[in-house]
Amino acid sequence: MSNHLIIGQYVPGQSIIHRLDPRAKLLIVFAYVLIVFLANNAATYALLSVFAFLFAALSRIPFSYIMRGLRPVIWVVLFTFVLHVWMTKEGDVLYRIGALTIYEEGVRQGIFISLRFLLLVLMTTMLTLTTTPIEVTDGVESLLGPLKKMRVPVHELALMMAISLRFIPTLMEETEKIMKAQAARGVDFSGGRFSERMKAIVSLLVPLFISSFKRADELATAMEARGYRGGEGRTKFRQLAWKRTDTVFFAAVVLLAILLCLLRS
């Protein structure tokens, strides 16, 4: 279980999308999220959809995994669609079912806006499915590097992210251990009255805090003993390399943006 927890939804693979530089993937996804809002007619939405589905197909991730990522938002998409069909009262009348009248404009708006939402979620999900959290961290650190000049602690933020990723499974195991230790002392974690439940949860949380503070202290001591002094002059175990494919994919997004500007009405 803890292995699943570190990598999250990441699906290991060797596809061309997996091997893209995390910086390229971040830039592509952010650019896509911005240009989605340019679309306002059938041609532009079709273009955006083709790009997103091609991206998904190239990742060679099984369709079922992608659907699993989309499942939490499917209700929001349906809700959006129904709301627009129900509320918009413009254009020709398509159907009349009792008191409910469905207008052409409503269906059009409903399809476009729920498709836009679906595309946004699909592209951001593709990033998560093909990139490990630690790769994303490296990519963000590198992309935000210029902000260091404005005294934003970019390196420190990335380091804290890396430390948390490392310690989340550890503290989760610790939680289980503490529960067993407290249960052996007679704490009931299976139910009881409300005040008993509160008492049980405090008996779990306080040792968890103490143990995490101890770990923080040990790790800080170890860092200082090894002469940690911030990001300046640091060498890295994981190196990022911008390749030609990264440029090609980035150019494709720029091309998409230009086409959208030309085709939108």
* Contacting another protein within 11-50 (CB under 8 A): 29
**HEC secondary structure over 183-236:** HHCCCCCCCCCHHHHHHHHHHHHHHHHHHHHHHHHHHHHHHHHCCCCCCCCCCC
106: Cβ contacts below 8 Å, ≥ 6 apart: 84, 85, 86, 87, 88, 89, 90, 91
How many C-beta neighbours within 10 Å does residue 148 have? Answer: 15
Q: Which span sits near another protein by CB under 8 A: 43-51, 174-182, 237-245, 256-264?
A: 174-182
Minimum CB–partner distance for residue 150 and another protein (Å): 12
Q: Which of 34, 50, 57, 76 forms a contact with another protein (CB under 8 A)?
A: 76
Interface map 132-161 toward another protein (x if CB under 8 A): xx--xx--x-------x--x-x-xxx-xxx
Radius of gyration (C-alpha) of the chain in whole angstroms: 25
Q: Which of residues 203-232 bind another protein (CB under 8 A)?
A: 204-206, 208-210, 212-213, 215-217, 219-220, 223-224, 228-232
Which is nearer to another protein, 5 or 258 (by Cβ)? 5
Cβ proximity to another protein, 92 vs 176, nearer residue: 176
Q: Which of 67, 79, 104, 261 binds another protein (CB under 8 A)?
A: 79
* 127 interacts with another protein by CB under 8 A: yes
Query: Restricting to residues 181-200, which ones interact with another protein according to CB under 8 A?
Result: 189-192, 197-198, 200
Q: Is the dihedral of CA 25, 27, 33, 37 positive or negative?
A: negative
Nearest distance in Å: CB 244, another protein: 25
- Binding footprint of another protein, residue count (CB under 8 A): 82
Amino acid at 213: F
Question: Residues 229 to 258: which contact another protein by CB under 8 A?
Answer: 229-232
Residue 90 contacts residue 105 (beta carbons within 8 Å): yes
Distances in Å between the Cα of 87 and the Cα atoms of 77, 81, 152 are 15, 10, 46
| DSSP state for residue 66 in the 8-state scheme | H
User: In the window 96-125, what residues touch another protein (CB under 8 A)?
Assistant: 109, 113, 117, 120-121, 124-125
